Homo-oligomer: A and B are copies of this chain.
Amino acid sequence: MKIYLLPTLLFTLLFSSVSISQNTVQDSTMLKKLYTAALTDGKAYDWLDYLSNQIGGRLSGSFEAENAVKYTEEEMNQLGLDKVWLQPVMVPKWTRGFKEYAYIESPTGEKSVTDICALGGSVATPSLGIKAEVVEVNGLDELAALGKEKLSGKIVFYNRPMQADLILTFEAYGGCVDQRYAGAAEAAKYGALGVIVRSMNLKQDDYPHTGAMSYGDTPVSQRIPAAAISTNGADYLSSLLKLQPNLLFYFKQNCKTFDDVQSYNVIGEITGSINPNEYFVVGGHLDSWDLADGSHDDGAGCVQSMEVLRLFKKVGYKPKHTIRVVLFMNEENGLRGGTKYAEEVKRKGEKHLFALESDAGGFTPRGFSFQTNDTNLKKAQSWGSLFKPYLIHSFEKGHGGSDIGPLEGNIEVIAGLRPDSQRYFDYHHAANDTFDAVNKRELELGAATMASLVYLFDTYGTK
């Protein structure tokens, strides 16, 4: 059985020597302080309570979004940061309007009401709604095969489910979301009247999930309305269609797109003690969808990011580099905040070394994904033993975060917090993404995990 003992022993010995050269004791003491402060004297959960329960859903351009800007700016001011400011950015304003209404009508005229929600960015239906036969498809590919003859005048029903056997649920999302994002633009090409999309949800339940869609270059006059139906609703509709292929689907929605309006990224920073002109960013997005509080998406990421800076002050850590918290506006339906921030970085020639986003829910943190070179990745992986007591085990290449994505090419490390993803899509963009769905400890562990990575890269630098 020596074969099992040998590598582990070597591994331990070799990593021990690495660790010693990195002031393991000092680092593990700092991580312990950060985790203890987050878990015993944290502020993230209270902030999230306010954002979720006192302010609510924060769709770009809404009163709530502006309220959230004001609130988080005030809270950052109270943290005693070296600088707090608002970065202006113009954002789209889309409103859902009155509650959507839909029903399925059998060939014999029976109607059964089903819950839907307009996709973000969709046009309204005509004021009397749309009623048409339904063509169920498994995705965009199937449209061309069906052609204009079969699709013209119909409602296209995209019903490809998320793939349940993918362990990382974001991969399952990535495999389906084209139906939501481009489904209407594609169906319009074949003369469809509207589209209904199965919700991006791995759970069978009754919540329709909204989310961004785009008409691409579809002329305004040819844009057709798009709505989501719950997973239960989709299965019901699909099973009915097998019995009654010529049933009718009716839906009505009166969403509307207004002119862009003024909004803001909310930014605060602790000035670096040694390299004040080299920047680290930690952030989430302050906007959310309108169906719920946006507690997981992405209230959690915002309060965790603010907590990183509060924790540093709390434990008396003075970062070498300037550490910025950025609460980005308009991730959900435009990415204007992230784009604007990166533009300003470039315009001002600010040297950015590191950015970390939390936008995958306030669940138990498991690790990080990195867009960086191998040197920085290996460096992060070498900290595995420091993170092990906190059950942080995953340091992989992968998507960092939408809002910090535009910094790519102009920064050393882009990283994303990777919490447990199993429950994320149960709540994502749906009416149940509320404060009670967030566990306090899980949220706090995420904040401490972020603070720990920022501390380590601040201490040992990026390459």
Contacts and interface: CB of A to CB of B under 8 A. Distances in A.
Contacts of A445: 167, 422
Interface in A212-231: none
Interface residue tally of chain A, by bracket?
35 or more
B441 A164 contact: yes
Interface in A20-75: 21, 35-36, 39-40
Interface string A368-393: 00000011001101100000011101
A417 to B, nearest CB: 15
Contacts of A389: 167
A165 interface: yes
Interface of A is mostly: helix
Interface in A412-454: 420, 422-423, 426, 439-442, 445
Contact of A394 (B364, B391, B422): B391
Contacts of A3: 17-18, 21, 382
A382 to B, nearest CB: 5
Interface of A: 1, 3-8, 10-11, 14-15, 17-18, 21, 35-36, 39-40, 164-165, 167, 169, 202-203, 364, 366, 374-375, 378-379, 381-382, 389-391, 393-394, 420, 422-423, 426, 439-442, 445, 463
The 10 A-B residue pairs with the shortest CB-CB distance, nearest first, are A7-B14, A4-B378, A393-B393, A36-B165, A39-B165, A4-B382, A1-B375, A39-B164, A422-B441, A11-B11
Given A36-B165, A39-B164, 12 more contacts: A1-B378, A3-B382, A4-B381, A5-B374, A6-B14, A11-B11, A164-B441, A167-B391, A364-B420, A391-B394, A393-B393, A393-B394
